[in-house]
Chains A and B, each alone.
Chain A
Amino acid sequence: MNNARLDWNLVQILVHKDWYFMRQALVAYLGAGLLGLFLMSAGSEGTFYAGAVLLFTVLISLGIHLAMATVVQERTQQTLAFVMTLPISPREYTMAKMLANLVIFMVPWLTTVVGSVLVLHFGLQSGGLIPFALVVLTEIFLAYLVVLAVALVTESEGWAIATMVTMNLFFQGFLYLVSHMPGIAETMKGASAVWSPTALGLLMVEMALIAVVIGMTFRRQGLKNDFI
């Protein structure tokens, strides 16, 4: 990968392009996410779980949809050749793809994070669930980045799908493990959040892994020789 300066204007144009194509889907996912938050805050235990499941489903589905639509399909539908005829370097392409995906994913993800905290703390007086919710939502973000990284590096539908399946299976186990973990399990039913070393440690590990995945994606993309 050459070290020439990035053309940020071009990166911005490419980010805007992906935003344009994903805008309608984004509105739909955002709407479903807000519905999930509404259900969570509705009051009964049944609607709370239904809302939580809907929120997780929305975020996981959005991650899969984004990686497939903005990266894998760009190759399978042969629009990558069109993009790569623009005065763009592989590094700018990777930067644009990462930024576009992060920006688009962050809108519903941040809405969910902030909405969950508000609902749990103020709506349901169940602040004890906040550390658990943040650890789980950050795992969804990390899993999405892993899928995106595999999609970008391999540009393979098969590898991307295999990674999605693996990350979703891992998520089920992760939910169970974290909810039974000492330092989290015993404070989950409290009215206010307790930031145990376990909860903080998990969040820090997740953040570090997010940084590693982003760094490795750029590194692997830099070693790539053939773009179409």
Chain B
Amino acid sequence: MTDLAARLEGVSKTYAHFSLQDIGLDLPQGSVTGFIGANGAGKSTTIRILMGLVHQDRGSVTVMGHAMPAAQAAAKRDIGFVSEDMRLYKAATVGWHMDFVRSVFPGWDQAYADQLLRRFDLKAEHPVKGLSHGQRVKAALLLALARRPRLLVLDEPTTGLDPVARHEVLAALMEALMDESRTILFSSQNTLDVEQISDQICFIDRGRIIESGDKESFLDRWRRVRLDVPPDVTLPAQMGAIPSPVASRSGRLTAVITKSFDQGMTDAYQAAGARVLSVEPMTLEEIFVANVLSNREAAHQ
């Protein structure tokens, strides 16, 4: 556990209409983990369990060396948390919130807070009531970053932001990454945001982690192979090839998606009589969609 900022092992939580099942998630110290899932996949529930705000039915959660949820107060001294559905007090100003959080966290960095205030184009005397959604997210991020947490947990912080606000938030996060000892868990439906800042990727769907690993390996392993397949040729089964519906066929042209590409795969297709038209890298979004669809298909079968 010494190298891990957080670990979830065999975590389950059952609600009336949703269940989180056997979640295992490791956050190495200094890593930036992108936590990707569709709406209702279980990202927020997992994060709330990690924060100690929701108690797991089964499994263990350790954050910054503290068992959760029992030691959540101690663990949260080292955690900065921003969630898309978190709101600040409308009746108070941004400055009041800064003073409030500073009174709780001795490590509050006022110079950094002032710098973020300027960068985010916020004013301390701004009442929260008059802030736009983007400004509210930036204010919440300021409050989380200026306490200099060792673990930063961000639950869909860029959801609903306009492109400029999203850029500002991501830029602030990039700067936060300069501190190599800081661990970040970043959940989003937006794979582009995750791809920009993450070095670890974790996909969740329907309450289960369906794949996780380092981002580069994801991008290296996943390929789309476009083939020209004569009518009398049957493609050989390939390790790692994702079955229908991800593979698609239109006349002689076929696209096969694989999660473990190697040269032997194209050699085998060619030996069977197919012509390899191209081998294309995939974006994280394409990988995520292919992964989710193939897992759902496998679950149906």
Residue positions of A touching B, CB distance < 8 A: 2, 4, 7, 10, 13, 17, 20-21, 77-79, 81-82, 84-89, 92, 225-228
Contact = CB atoms under 8 A, between A and B. Distances in A.
Given A2-B70, A13-B104, A79 B55 contact: no
A227 B54 contact: yes
Contacts of B103: 13
Contacts of B79: 85
A81 B87 contact: yes
A228 B75 CA distance: 17
A87 B76 contact: yes
A82 B73 contact: no
A79 B51 contact: no
B104 A82 contact: no
Contacts of A88: 73, 76
A5 B105 CA distance: 18
Chain B interface size, as a band, is 20 to 34
B76 A21 contact: no
Interface string B47-71: 0100101110000000000000011
B112 interface: no
A78 B86 contact: yes
B88 A87 contact: no
A9 B273 CA distance: 75
A87 B54 contact: no
Interface centre among A13, A17, A82, A88 (most CB of B within 10 A): A82
Given A13-B100, A86-B104, A81 B83 contact: yes
B54 A82 contact: no
Contacts of A228: 48, 53-54
Given A13-B103, A77-B90, A82-B140, A89 B72 contact: yes
B298 interface: no
A10 B104 CA distance: 7
B81 interface: yes
Interface string B118-152: 00000000000000000000001000100000000
Contact of B77 (A21, A79, A87, A226): A87
Contacts of B55: 225-226
Given A87-B77, A226-B53, A228-B53, A82 B88 contact: yes
A87 B77 CA distance: 5
Contact of B86 (A4, A7, A82, A226): A82
Nearest to A227: B53
Which 10 residue pairs are nearest across A and B when measured between Cβ atoms?
Answer: A225-B55, A78-B87, A85-B81, A81-B86, A87-B76, A89-B73, A87-B77, A226-B54, A2-B70, A227-B53
Nearest to A77: B87
8 contacts: A4-B71, A7-B73, A21-B89, A21-B91, A85-B76, A92-B73, A226-B48, A227-B53
